[in-house]
Amino acid sequence: MRMRKKTVFRAIFTIALGVGLVGCNNSKNYKNSSRATGWDINSKDGGFQYDTDYKEQEPAPGLVFIEGGTFTMGQVQDDVMHDWNNTPTQQHVQSFYMDETEVTNRMYLEYLDWLKRVFPPSQQNYRNIYYGALPDTLVWRNRLGYNETMVNNYLRHPAYAEYPVVGVSWVQAAEFSKWRTDRVNEKQLVDAGYISEETLYKTEPGATFSTETYINAPSRVYGGNTEMTQSGKKSQKLAGNQSTDSLGNTSGGKQYVQRKDGILYPEYRLPTEAEWEYAALGLVGIRDYNIYRGRKKYPWDGRYTRSGDLRKQGDQLANFKQGAGDYGGIAGWSDDGADITAPVMSYEANDFGLYDMAGNVAEWVADVYRPIVDDEFNDFNYYRGNVYTENAINEDGTVQVVGIDDIKYDTLSTGKVVARNLPGEIVQKPITEDETYMRTNFSKSDNRDFRDGDKSSSRYYQPFQDVDNSKRMYNSPDFDRIAIGDTTQAKPKYDDKERTTLISDDVRVYKGGSWRDRAYWLDPAQRRFFPQDMATDYIGFRNAMSKVGAKSMDNVKRARSAK
């Protein structure tokens, strides 16, 4: 009987195995062949080339993974100001990456060093590139305080290397983000073998690397020096595999990386307000299934600023101003270990692994400020500040690349001159009506005042008459922004009229409390605004990067499991 059962079992197993093999034989493996045409992909003879082994986007330098989700934005626990500045709205944020720490003095000094080497300020035509990027160290001065030590040392002295950079305007932070994108992607090409490491240190003013230029016109990178663009071992090997037929068609290996190869990262940028607030809250630690249990007031668990851990009981979890004249506690036993800013990672990270999302310095975010978040129009990746542009094209169909003589400068309302583009970048221009014709999702290039501040949303709106400029929705200062194409510094014309508000398209949101703020401002939902071309001693920034592909990831640094 037992032998009969074994025989029956073996027969069933053999039949099942055979069916499985037949099924496998009938199921086409489309990894290296087209599901559309059946043609081979990545054939040595040519044809369509594609990275079929691509897994997931790896975290770029300095970044940690933030898994997106739904949360209530603007939900403050206290509202002593009694304003309309924090109306709770439910929003969904896509997954993204964010700097583990605030950008430090050492990180920013690397940026300044690169600018100084590539665009020497000793040369008159490059001077404003370097000086326009310098942080304003005079933000530390106080007419009734002695802060000259910070004025002279905070940015450059190695004692402050791991402290967050301050004195940086929103405009400067955005320019740093562009520079960081290009330097990281340039290193990606070195690691992938397309350009040599020596190339990184041979850069000259008219021969710089730009990610978008490399993607759109690779032969124009490094000032058109293809020897630098193809200096890597892999690029040279691929060039040797190419062949040209009698008709002039080229086949074989590729010498340039394209976006479809998955090697180049998306851009570093400032996080949106929704992203920053979501990341600061770190709600993943208090979730049950698809709901959040309890409410959080700060980036850490609990509703208090002091630690409940037995080993650190009573210690402050961030540095902030605890009272009049109390920036760091009594000597010998400090309440928070800092009087001004503190080195990054001085306090515990939140559940996403992010440090200093409360205290230390407040942080710039990408959004143009408005008192109310318009969730009725959009509740997905909310962001106010879109200015859509396109590549400028020459008459012969090639993209326009900024040359040494094409650098554009802008005189800000503060009188500071900053470079708006650098040699090697693609010239950008606003989109026109030709690109927006019959579109339903956008109709113009500049959307910063969409549904708030434009004519149609103004209380003075008259559809068939011109509206007096003095009756615009926000009666903010109106400075003449003077763009200059040479090294002559233009003096801006200041607004001398009586104004009632600072709200305009040139003010940006900043989030998080700082070493100067009371605990009230440590709530991630709190929001304030400041002119984008001005700087302070309490606002810094960190970068973010969009994630491409799946929402969740298993092989990267991510948030701790729910408790």
> Which residues, given as ranges, of the chain have pLDDT below 50?
22-27, 245-252, 487, 558-563
Give phi and psi for 248, each to the nearest 5.
90, 5
Pairing between strand 539-540 and 362-368?
Answer: parallel
Predicted TM-score (pTM) of the model is: 0.88
Q: What is the pLDDT of residue 104?
A: 98
Distances (CA, A) of 134 to 115, 236, 341: 10, 39, 19
Indicate the domain borders of the chain: 55-192+263-384+509-563, 193-236+252-261, 386-447+449-504
Give phi and psi for 427, each to the nearest 5.
-65, 130
Q: What is the pLDDT of residue 335?
A: 82
Rounded Cα distance, 101 and 341, in Å: 13
Q: What is the pLDDT of residue 555?
A: 58
Q: What is the pLDDT of residue 280?
A: 95
CATH code linked to domain 55-192+263-384+509-563: 3.90.1580.10
Distances (CA, A) of 135 to 242, 483, 517: 49, 21, 22
- Quick one: tokens of 386? 């879109």
Q: Is 55 exposed, middle or buried (0-12, 13-18, 19+ CB in 10 A)?
A: exposed
Name residue 224's amino acid. Answer: G
pLDDT tens digit string along 371-425?
888 888 999 999 999 999 999 999 999 999 999 888 888 888 888 889 989 999 9
Neighbours of 29 (CB within 10 A): 7
- Quick one: tokens of 424? 């090697």
Q: What is the pLDDT of residue 251?
A: 45
Cβ pair 130, 487 in contact under 8 A: no
Give phi and psi for 510, each to the nearest 5.
-130, 145
